[in-house]
Copies of this chain bind each other. A is one copy, B any other.
Amino acid sequence: MYRTHHCNTLGISDVGKKVTLSGWVHKIRDKGFLIWIDLRDHSGVIQLVFDENRTPKSVIEDTKNLGREFVLQIKGIVVERESKNPKIATGEIEVAVLDFKILNQSKTPPFTIENETDGGEKLLMKYRYLDIRRTPVKERLQFRHKVAMAVRNYLSDKGFLEVETPLLIKSTPEGARDFLVPSRTNKGQFYALPQSPQTFKQLLVVGGVDQYFQITKCFRDEDLRADRQPEFTQIDCEMAFVEQEDVMQIFEKMTVYLLKTVKGIALKSFPRMTYKEAIETYGTDKPDIRFDMKFVELNNLAKGRGFKVFDSQEFIVGINVEGGASYSRKQIDELIDWVKQPQVNANGIVWVKYEEDGGAKSSVDKFFTNETLLEWLEKARSKRGDMLLILAGETKKTRTQLSALRMEMAERLGFRNPEVFAPLWVTDFPLLEWNEEDGRFHAVHHPFTSPKPEDINLLDAQPEKVRANAYDLVINGNEIGGGSIRINQNNLQKKMFSLLGFTEKEVQSQFGFLLEAFQYGVPPHGGIAFGFDRLVAILSGSESIRDVIAFPKNNAGRDVMIDSPSFIDAQKLKELHISKIYETNG
């Protein structure tokens, strides 16, 4: 047996006990006659003391061979410390070492194993196994486990059944690219890895599984954007005989339960907003409502007054910045530079300060009367000392730009507190959106999402006007979950595929099994899927989903620790009936 106790379980009440501990050398302080070593295991750190009164001389001598991250087994006696350290859990005691054994040696690690390390991103990724030794990283893995257990126990208690769906499935073209897997035994054919268990969970419902869930890996072969991973984890759920309200109710309750269980935060029912309202009020379908700064549309009050810049634009919209009247010219210029950067791409900002004396001061006061400017401020419910920031341009673009500016201002004003959680349901998404590049409609959600019954008659003439029975759960500006009521009628599903530009043949070869299943008594059903990595990241206050994934890949989809993907012998590929294509550049 390697140990009688874990480091962090010992305390003042254990003084006098003989203990055996195992762990890593965290720190060594050698005063010659007196040596202290911090021994670390998964539970925490404890101070070992080697002194001539209690430790045999030869044992003290042996400590000369030790270095950071060596693995030790020690035997010793718990003693009370002379100078206590209130910063650590075991700070009242130390262990006087009688004997120790080196279980394994270690090279000096490439970065310090401390809460704040000196290792850069690349080194931390390459030596992820050492990064995980650091307390904040380890604690995020523990936190992830806790969230997963809470989800599973909650849903299981509510009668949901976790069912594993296959990972070697069939390639379908909708959405992102599939990862493909060549089959050796079925020559020339390929499996695909699932982008989600969507069709399988629907087939489970067809099969009479009333309430399904699964925490499962999904795969998307995307050109990686910041903070995306080619493999990610989803809480995937589906229910039979439900309407939108039923699904929203149960998963709102689950989210309330999670926040309570893993964060100790008590929330009641979540606000709701239609997609249209979200876009008009916040310029985005995933608004951060931890703070206000709602959009103020100014077309009526700002157009047709002779200011050409506004008169020539489609849309004029602003947000109120609390206390903004005190911004210096330099600070405002900084903001203007910020919105002009390519990622935001606005032309500039018109600002109006609400002076403490009740007057208005503005970058456009040459063009508008003080009265007009005060009308704007009033519409924005600005208070004296605030400032109104206004953008103008094409409606959709301008909303997106102002939404970015809103988030930036909130950041600067400290409104984005990671310990505050503001969930929000966004509903009534459009069913379809026109894709210029492909010259056809794409599904906003996915091809199985049901149109609102009252909009079905618009499908032929005005498909872009059709709203979906779809809903997103947004927390702090992040889409955490998205779901919908599904189509359960064969004809409607076929029409949907056709609207999305599938030929009859493509539908048959890719979704024939689903349409066949839809002939055998499909119940009304719907569901939701949560991005589990994102959910854990937000709940743990992490910046990136990488922080909450044990072995993440980098932005190029590489695992730099194991150096994967990698080259494969041509012979192995031949067994799979494939060969590499070498493209030459000449």
Contact = CB atoms under 8 A, between A and B. Distances in A.
B581 A183 contact: no
Nearest to A574: B581
A217 interface: yes
Contacts of A556: 185-186
Contact of A551 (B156, B165, B573): B165
Copies in the complex: 2
Given A106-B519, A190-B568, A181 B180 contact: yes
Contacts of A561: 203, 513
A477 to B, nearest CB: 25
A557 B186 contact: yes
A241 B21 CA distance: 10
A138 interface: yes
Interface in A184-235: 184-186, 188-193, 199-200, 203-204, 206-210, 217, 219, 221, 223-224, 230-231, 233
Interface string A118-140: 00000000011111110000100
**Residue from the set A191, A224, A230 with the largest chain B CB neighbour count within 10 Å:** A191
A507 interface: no
Interface stretch (A142-150, A253-261, A340-348): A142-150
Nearest to A25: B521
B578 A164 contact: no
A208 B127 CA distance: 13
A579 interface: yes
Contact of A488 (B43, B104, B522, B562): B104
A70 B164 CA distance: 27
Given A107-B520, A128-B203, 20 more contacts: A1-B246, A42-B240, A103-B523, A104-B488, A107-B519, A128-B207, A129-B517, A133-B208, A144-B164, A145-B163, A165-B551, A169-B564, A170-B559, A171-B566, A171-B568, A185-B223, A189-B568, A191-B564, A513-B563, A578-B579
Interface of A: 1-3, 6, 22, 24-25, 40-43, 69-71, 103-107, 109, 127-133, 138, 141-142, 144-145, 148-149, 152-153, 156, 161-171, 177, 179-186, 188-193, 199-200, 203-204, 206-210, 217, 219, 221, 223-224, 230-231, 233, 240-243, 246, 488-489, 509, 512-513, 517, 519-524, 549-551, 553, 556-559, 561-568, 572-583
